[in-house]
Structure 1
Amino acid sequence: MTTQDVGPIDYLAVEFPGARLRGKGLAALLDLVERGIIRILDLRVATVTESGDVMGVALTDLDDDGELDLAVFEGARSGLLDDDDLAESARLVAPGNAVGLIVYENTWAGPFVTAMREAGAEMVASGRIPADDVVAALETLEASEAPA
Structure 2
Amino acid sequence: MTDTPLDQLGPVDYVVVEFPAGQSSFTGEMIDELISLVDAGTIRVIDVLILTKNEDGSVDALELSDLPQLGELEKLEAQLAELLAADDVEHLAAAMDPGSTAGVLIWENLWAAGFASAARRSGGQLIADGRIPIQAILASIEADLALDAQEV
TM-score (normalizing by structure 2): 0.70
In the alignment, which of 97, 101, 104 is matched to residue 98 of structure 1?
101
Distance in 2 of aligned mates of 1:19 and 1:86: 21
* 1:25 equivalent in structure 2: 30
| Cα drift, residue 12 of structure 1 | 0.7
TM-score (normalizing by structure 1): 0.71
Distance in 2 of aligned mates of 1:141 and 1:53: 42
| Cα drift, residue 22 of structure 1 | 2.1
| Cα drift, residue 141 of structure 1 | 5.0
Q: What root-mean-square deviation, in Å, do the aligned CA atoms of Structure 1 and Structure 2 show?
A: 3.1
Name structure 2 gaps, 5 residues minimum.
Answer: none
Name structure 1 gaps, 5 residues minimum.
Answer: none
Distance in 1 of aligned mates of 2:41 and 2:77: 18
Question: What does the per-residue CA deviation read over 1:6-44, in whole Å, with 9 as the maximum and x for residues that have no partner?
Answer: 222111111133373423112111111111111111211
* 1:14 equivalent in structure 2: 17
Paired-residue identity, %: 29
Counterpart contact for 2:63–2:82, Cα < 8 Å = no
Taking a change above 3 Å as real, the CA distance of residues 71 and 134 of structure 1, as seen in their structure-2 partners, is same
Distance in 2 of aligned mates of 1:110 and 1:4: 9
Q: Which has the higher helix share?
A: 2
Question: What does the per-residue CA deviation read over 1:58-104, in whole Å, with 9 as the maximum and x for residues that have no partner?
Answer: 5225xxxx66364344351253x212211222232222221221221
In the alignment, which of 44, 52, 56 is matched to residue 49 of structure 2?
44
Paired residues, what number? 141
| Cα drift, residue 110 of structure 1 | 0.9
In the alignment, which of 70, 74, 77 is matched to residue 77 of structure 2?
74
In the alignment, which of 105, 129, 132 is matched to residue 131 of structure 2?
129
Taking a change above 3 Å as real, the CA distance of residues 97 and 67 of structure 1, as seen in their structure-2 partners, is same
